[in-house]
Structure 1
Amino acid sequence: MISVFDQGPPTPCPAPFNLAAHVMRHARDRGDKIALSVLGRDGVQDWTYAALEEAILGTATGLLKIGLVPGQIVLMRLGNSVEFPIAYLGAIAAGLVPVPTSSQLTEPETARIIAELSPAAVLRDPAVACADHPRQISLEELSAMRTLPPATYAMGDPERMAYVVYTSGTSGKQRAVAHAHRAIWARQMMVDGWYGLTGEDRLCHAGAFNWTYTLGTGLMDPWTIGATALVPQPGTDPARLADLLREHRATIFAAAPGVYRQMLARADSLHLSDLRHGLSAGEKLSRSLHENWVARTGTELYEAYGMSECSTFISSSPAHPARGEALGRPQPGRRVAIIGTDGPVPQGAEGTIAIHRSDPGLMLTYLNAPEEAEARMQGDWFLTGDQGAMAVDGEITFLGRDDDMMNAGGFRVSPVEVEEVLARYPGISQAGVASVEVKTDTFVIAAFYTGPEKLDEDGLRAYVGANLARYKQPRAFIHLPALPTGGNGKLLRRALPAYFEATA
């Protein structure tokens, strides 16, 4: 049998369609219900569904009133606040194409984006860095738009462009990923396939408002089914998160693995009586971290795999917990394969994780680089660049990024496998591994780790010798105060060799 998961297509996206209208579809029947609570140190800022839609549609009116035209691109340079999702959905409601970006980008980085996309306007918080642009709409102007008469949702072809996000850049040059309005329709497959989310849930997301993980999982998906979203105030201490989950009766918690790691290290108590389970995405969840969370809280963690080009489409869930070391399985309605040079590989064999061209969540293209988007297609399959293996029941084991895969004596080694073994060693808080050049054309695997103190290398060598095949064992161990990460908190494995060179 070949490695293809296909249990039938999802229900087609209706037409005409608007992403923001779909997100706010419960504003009429649940108008007085709390859609969003911003959890602050000095109180809670609540938004009902009715108030939220009023602000979104007022913003849409304001953006059109100043002369912006449906189809035009607007760059978002806003901070970690509720203004971000309101402006984002307001732009989409008006038929504009917002480009959400991290507030951590520098002025030169935004200059490159402006040069590439030629946005019609920049939605701008003056505290957020941004290169010059002739049409900047201030935070004050955006806030004033909320009280304007509501616009009518710009309905149209679900295949038309709705928004643009930038890839994380972990595999090379960042690319502008164009998504259609139908992308929000595809996210419904996550509700049962990952979240186990209902309209009565209170989902707390620990990320920033201007992070796409928060924007999707933490806000838009709960709103789409009429649930309540909880978002801690920016700057909340991870040690305080457990208290907020208890105080505000969160039933589902979503975060990146790093947040779970910090909570386990710093929270006094992790007794969370209302919490049903947690969600993890953004980077690979280590087995040891997962097991520690379950032991401390008595609740499960469900992990998801995705990417900027297609959000998350493989996951574990309350209905289908992952088995052993597996990541999870394709969500119902997805068509996923493990691809080799000649197409889908036999079940159990390693290959590249791929999703079918027909998936409603797959991007439209890379703006200004459509040839690169087409180059990632193999027939009808979009190649993610990540390695995996599929079991007979569809369970997929993640084996690492294709460009992260290491070569040791002719054997391909997944960094994820080595890192998970290291993460279980006492005294290691976080681990990353990479292939490093010790002399010309001679490479070995080096392990980089954080923890309270430098560990005995003889002990580490004995441990990996007992737990990994020889060709998988690190030959060097480097203690660091912190591992290098990108703006979204992901481990930057390609940056690790420089730390080895610095200590050599």
Structure 2
Amino acid sequence: MLSVFDHGAPPPCPAPFNLAAHVLGRAPELGPKTALSVLGRGDLQDWSYAALESAVRGTGSGLLQAGIAPGEIVLLRLGNTVDFPIAYLGAIAVGIIPVPTSSQLTEPEVAAMVAELSPAAILRAPEVAAPPHPREIDLDALRAMHSLPPCAYAMGDPDRMAYAVYTSGTSGKPRAVAHAHRAIWARQMMFDGWYGIGADDRLLHAGAFNWTFTLGTGLMDPWTVGATALIPEPGADPADLPRLLRAHRATLFAAAPGVYRKLLQHHPRLDLPDLRHGLCAGEKLSPSLHSAWQAASGTGLFEAYGMSECSTFISASPAQPARGDVLGQPQQGRRVAILGPDGPVARGTEGTIAVHRDDPGLMLGYLGDPAETEARMRGDWFLTGDTGAMAADGQITYLGRSDDMMNAGGYRVSPVEVEAALSAHPGITQVGAAEVEVKADTRIIAAFYSGPVPLDEAELRAWAAERLARYKQPRAYIYLSRLPTGANGKLLRRALPAYFQKVAS
């Protein structure tokens, strides 16, 4: 039996269609119901469905009045506040294409994006880095738009471009991934296939507003079903999450595995009477962390696998739990295969995880790079670059990356990008970056370098901080007289972690 999961396609996306209109489709009937609570130790910041839709549609009107035309791109340089999703949905509502970006990016990193995208405007909070731009809309101006008359939703072909997100490429150059309006329609396959979510749920997501994991799982999906989203205020301590979960009666909790790890360090036992289960994605969930959460909370923890190009499409769920350390199975409506050089391999055989090109959640392509887009396809299948094996019952075991990509707290980071930033240092002759394990279930990015003499680590950290977002910066620097290379002189990145273990021991 071949490693192909195909139990039928999902219902087709209706047309005409608009992503923002779909997310807020229940707002008129729900009106005063709380759509979002921003949680902290002080006063709650609550947004009703009516207030949320009013702010989104007012922002749409404001962006049009600012002279930005449908089809033009706006770059979001906003902080960890509710302004981020409101601006994002407001742009999409009127057919403007937002590009959400991490507030951690440095000005040089953002400048490269601006050069590639040529955005019509940058929507910017004052504390977030960005290069000069002739049309910059600040936070005060964005907030003033909330009270403008509501825009009409720009309905149209569900296959037209709605937004783009950046992902780290194996070449070291971040790539803009273009998505269609239909991408939100595809996410309904997660509702039963991962979340087990309904209108009565209160989902607390531990991530920042301006992280795409939070934007989708923590905000847009709960709003689509009419649930309540709970987001901790900026700077919230993971150790305080159990109090927030309990006090605000969260029924679902979503976070990257690293957050669960930190939470359990402070709370080996959890009293969360309203919580049904936890959700995690972003990096591989270890069996030991999974077991620790179940023992501490008495609830399940369900993992999902996805990527910027196709969000999450393989997962465990309350209705279909994973077996042991198996990742889960493709969500109902997905078509997924495990491929070898000649196509789908026999079940139980290792290969590349692939998703069908007709999946409504699959990207339109890499902006400005059709060759790279096509290079990721093999016939009807999009190659994820990850390896796995499919069991007889369709459940999939994740077996790691098939390239050198690293994972930093849920963000995929290219070693080439880190190496390029560090190689410009005058005291470095050669540099390699790799993900290393510092203790059980804890991995960091480490930089290995050679040069005339070992360099001061504080100097190297300062150098990296000027050129790389915080999540891309190495947490360890190891000096080697010579880096490992192959017969052709090429750096052997996969040999680097062994050097770290040697130094650590």
Match of 2:74 in 1: 74
Q: SS of 2:387's equivalent?
A: strand
Q: Kindly tell me: are residues 446 and 22 of structure 1, through their superposed partners in 2, closer, same or farther at Cα, counting changes over 3 Å?
A: closer
Q: TM-score, normalised by structure 2?
A: 0.83
The residue identity in structure 1 corresponding to 2:322 is A
Indicate yes or no: 2:496 matched with 1:497. Answer: yes
Render the CA deviation track for 1:334-385: whole Å, top value 9, x for unaligned: 0000001000000000000000000000000100111101011000000000
Question: For residues 311 and 487 of structure 1, do their structure 2 counterparts lie closer, same or farther at Cα, with a shift above 3 Å needed?
Answer: farther
> 1:127 matched to which residue of 2?
127
SS of 2:337's partner is strand
Is 2:394 aligned against 1:394? Answer: yes
The alpha-carbon deviation at position 170 of structure 1 amounts to: 6.4
Q: Does structure 2 retain, via aligned residues, the 8 Å contact 1:257–1:282?
A: yes
Cα distance in 2 for residues equivalent to 1:390 and 1:189 = 20
| Contact kept? 1:39, 1:230, Cα under 8 Å | yes
The match for 2:380 is 380
Question: Post-superposition shift, 1:269?
Answer: 4.7
8 Å contact 1:97–1:161 — kept in the other structure? yes
Matched, 1:361 2:361: yes
Q: Which amino acid aligns with 2:437?
A: F
Q: 1:136 — aligned with what?
A: 136
Distance 1:241 1:302 in 2: 18
Structure 2 residue aligned with 1:8: 8
Taking the aligned partners of 2:475 and 2:160, their CA distance within structure 1 comes to 34
1:3–1:344 CA contact under 8 A, matched in 2:
yes
Distance 1:168 1:247, change over 3 A: farther
Q: Deviation above 6 Å: which 4+ runs of structure 1?
A: 489-496
**Matching residue's letter, 1:274:** D
Any idea what SS the aligned residue of 1:43 has? coil
- Residue aligning to 2:295: 295
Q: Which runs of 5+ in 1 are unaligned?
A: 406-414, 417-433, 435-444, 452-484
Partner residue, 1:325: 325
Determine the structure 2 residue equivalent to 1:248: 248
Aligned to 1:236: 236
The one-letter code of the counterpart of 1:39 is: L
| TM superposition shift of 1:266 | 1.5
Cα distance in 2 between the residues matched to 1:268 and 1:145 = 46
Once the two structures are TM-superposed, the CA of residue 281 in structure 1 deviates from its matched residue by: 0.2
- Alpha-carbon offset, residue 497 of structure 1: 2.8
Give the match for residue 420 of structure 2.
Answer: none
1:448 is matched with: 437
Native 8 Å contact 1:194 1:315 kept in 2: yes
Tell me how many residue pairs correspond in the alignment. Answer: 437
Shift of 1:97: 0.3
Q: Indicate conservation of the 8 Å contact 1:170/1:492, yes or no.
A: no
Structure 1 residues 235, 273: CA separation in 2 closer, same or farther (over 3 Å shift)? same
Contact 1:238 1:267 (C-alpha < 8 Å) held by counterparts: no
Q: CA RMSD in A?
A: 2.6
Report the CA distance shift for 1:489/1:117 in structure 2 as closer, same or farther (over 3 A).
closer
Do the aligned residues in 2 keep the contact of 1:242 with 1:269 (CA within 8 Å)? no
Mapped contact 2:376–2:382 kept (Cα < 8 A):
yes
> How much does 1:450 deviate?
3.7
Q: Deviations over 1:420-451 (max 9, x none)?
A: xxxxxxxxxxxxxx9xxxxxxxxxx9963148
Q: Distance in 1 between matches of 2:400 and 2:240?
A: 33
Give, in angstroms, the shift of residue 172 of structure 1: 3.8
- The answer to whether the 8 A contact 1:171-1:403 is kept is no
Q: Which residue of 1 is the match for residue 145 of structure 2?
A: 145
C-alpha distance in 2 between matches for 1:322 and 1:363: 27
| 3-state DSSP of counterpart to 1:134 | coil
Distance in 2 separating the partners of 1:292 and 1:120: 48
Cα distance in 2, alignment partners of residues 314 and 171 from structure 1: 26
Structure 1 Cα separation of the partners of residues 212 and 355 of structure 2:
20
The equivalences for 1:83-98 within 5 A come to 83-98=83-98
Quickly say closer, same or farther: Cα 1:77–1:147, change in 2 above 3 A. Answer: same
The aligned runs of 1:144-293 (5 Å cut-off) are 144-169=144-169, 172-267=172-267, 269-293=269-293
Distance 1:287 1:486 in 2: 30
Match of 1:352 in 2: 352
1:43 Cα offset (Å):
1.8
CA 1:269 to 1:448, structure 2 compared with 1: closer, same or farther past 3 Å? closer
Task: Give the counterpart letter for 2:237 in structure 1.
Answer: D
Secondary structure of residue in 1 paired with 2:189: helix
Of all paired residues, the percent bearing the same amino acid is 68
The match for 2:341 is 341
TM-score (norm: length of structure 1): 0.83
Q: Which amino acid aligns with 2:40?
A: G
Structure 2: distance between partners of 1:79 and 1:225: 26
The structural deviation recorded for 1:486 is 7.5
Deviation at 1:14? 0.3
CA contact (8 A) 1:161 1:179 kept: yes
Gaps of 5+ in 2: 408-414, 416-433, 441-467, 477-492
Is this contact kept in 1: 2:106–2:469, CA < 8 A? no
2:29 partner SS: coil
Residues 474-489 of structure 1: pairs in structure 2 closer than 5 A: none
Structure-2 separation of matches of 1:105 and 1:499: 30
- In 2, the alpha carbon distance for the partners of 1:449 and 1:83 equals 37
Asked if the contact 1:160/1:180 (under 8 Å) is kept, the reply is yes
